[in-house]
Amino acid sequence: AEHSPDLVHFHTAFLLYIVLDELISYYEGLFEHLEDEIERIEEEALRETSDDFLVRLLHLKRYVFAVGRLAEQHRGVFATFSRPDFRMVSGDEVGPYFRDLQESLNRLNDRLFAARESVNGAFDIYVSHMAHRTNALIKVLTVISTVLLPATLIATLSQLLFRLPILSSPPTAVLVLLALVLVPAAILVVIRARL
């Protein structure tokens, strides 16, 4: 009212318009902060793997949804103000102001919806990135298991079947040592050829 004293003197609906305009301006200010934060989060989603980042991402996601819900709740009220049978704010003198408010709110809601989609996209990027890292780790562990299992099996069977210490018989020791080296090497060659 201090910024637009002329509007207040015209009609009480103008004061309502000023209050609602300030409300939309406040939401737009919140949204400007959100846009910057969402851009940072989207960039970090491909690099970060920490639990702290996930906590920040989930906090931002909840915050964006909360602001979106708050702004969405005003849609019905603003639509009522635009109806021609709502006499308090209808007419040529006041009506255009409230139609402008409704358009501003609709634009804000559209932007907040896009922000929600962006945050969901950043969350999907993070989950996909973590799944890719987990798959790479599982692949390495699988190769290690595949290589070490036959060597362990050969060493165990040689002890059980021959019932001799491996190094007491030179031909047996050489045969077992060759098997321990050649079988894992052959497995590694096959794995490398398939990748």
Residue whose entry in the numeric block shows the structure tokens 């907040």? 112
- Tell me what pLDDT residue 184 has: 79
| Distance linking the first and last C-alpha atoms of the chain | 71
Residue 119 neighbours by CB under 8 Å, 6+ apart: 38, 41, 57, 60, 61, 64
Range ranked top by mean pLDDT from 91-100, 137-146, 168-177: 137-146
CA distance 156 to 162: 10
Average pLDDT, the chain: 79
- Full-model pTM: 0.62
- Tell me what pLDDT residue 89 has: 65
Residue whose entry in the numeric block shows the structure tokens 């910057």? 36
What's the chain's length in residues?
195
Q: Could you read off the pLDDT of 59-111 as tens digits, one per residue?
A: 988 988 888 888 888 888 877 777 777 766 656 677 778 888 889 899 988 98
Q: Could you read off the pLDDT of 78-90 as tens digits, one per residue?
A: 777 777 777 666 5
- Tell me what pLDDT residue 150 has: 79
Q: Pick the residue with more confidence: 148 or 114?
A: 114
